[in-house]
Amino acid sequence: MQWASVDHRERIGIIGAGCAGLTAAEELRSLGYRAVTVVEAKPRVGGKTYSIAYRDASGQPPVTIEGGTVWFIPGPLYHRYIRRYGISQRYQIMPPAKLYDLTSSRATNPFLTPSNISATNRAGQLARFLGVVRSHGRPDDPGFCRPRYRDLGMSSPAWFAQEGLGFAREAFVPIANAAEFGPIERETPVAYILKFLAVLNRFTLPQQLTLALPKFREGNQELWRRIAATHDVRLGTPVRRIERGPTIRVTTDTATLEFDRLIWAAPTDEFARVADVTPEEQTLFTRVRTITRAVVTCHSTGCHPTCSPL
């Protein structure tokens, strides 16, 4: 195979200064590219990470509240970045995840959720399911091209029922739904559920069993702030129009930027709104499902005993 020559002088634009866009900028620089510009509509970087410094009026030590993504996934790339940018490797552990039953006011570990089946059967299902998850969790195995995914196109509920893993679904799927899938899980191919839950393989066994997942002591957004500070990032710059020709012209409120290549790291519906979308792209983008959600952070008193007020 003959590879095309690489021109490190190419002007590369990245739309979106969230985790994906800043990772692309960081990796391109490590490959030798120097003319990389990141354009972000919001006045801040970090995308779905949003760390807020908070100090209680009572004089308690300051804490970092995660108003967006509340934990991170350990992996080779993250470990490289935290060393490179001086983020503390002493992680602050989130309180263990709990399932809260509104009817009974009972909070439990997801693995201890009430069930009519025997404890032995429950333990067996969890062990079997964790074995399946382990086979789908290699950090260097992105996408769904491997043969193991060929028979995983059925819906999530149908697959769990077929495999006799009803209790495993009750225990694990709420974790996936709370983090990513929400109301579309029932129609989502189980391959996506397994791929997401496979990230648990990167946590220690005690963290897996208690679901006490880590966040950075400085806040999850701080890593991306430090990365962005070393790149050409244009904040508060919404894209109004993208036109493709011999070069790619990106029109914003204040300027027209010209690139040789463009990476879109923002929601696909926004690309369809501003770009000269081809019929093939339009067909692809209409199949993308998105969920709008919000993280609500509040200070409360007089909570149920199982809650941990901030």
pLDDT value for 251: 97
Say what the alpha-carbon torsion angle 194, 196, 197, 200 is, to the nearest 10 degrees. Answer: 140
With beta carbons less than 8 A apart as the criterion, state whether 82 and 216 touch: yes
pLDDT value for 225: 97
pLDDT in tens, 197-250: 888 888 877 777 677 778 888 889 999 999 999 999 999 999 999 999 999 999
User: Who has greater pLDDT, 117 or 293?
Assistant: 117
User: Who has greater pLDDT, 90 or 229?
Assistant: 229
Q: 294: number of CA atoms within 13 Å, CB side?
A: 3
Sort residue 122 into left (φ over 0), alpha (ψ -120 to 50) or beta: alpha
With beta carbons less than 8 A apart as the criterion, state whether 310 and 298 touch: yes
End-to-end CA distance of the chain: 58
Sort residue 302 into left (φ over 0), alpha (ψ -120 to 50) or beta: left
Cα–Cα distance for residue pair 293/182, rounded to 1 Å: 9
Return phi, psi of residue 101, to 5°: -90, 115
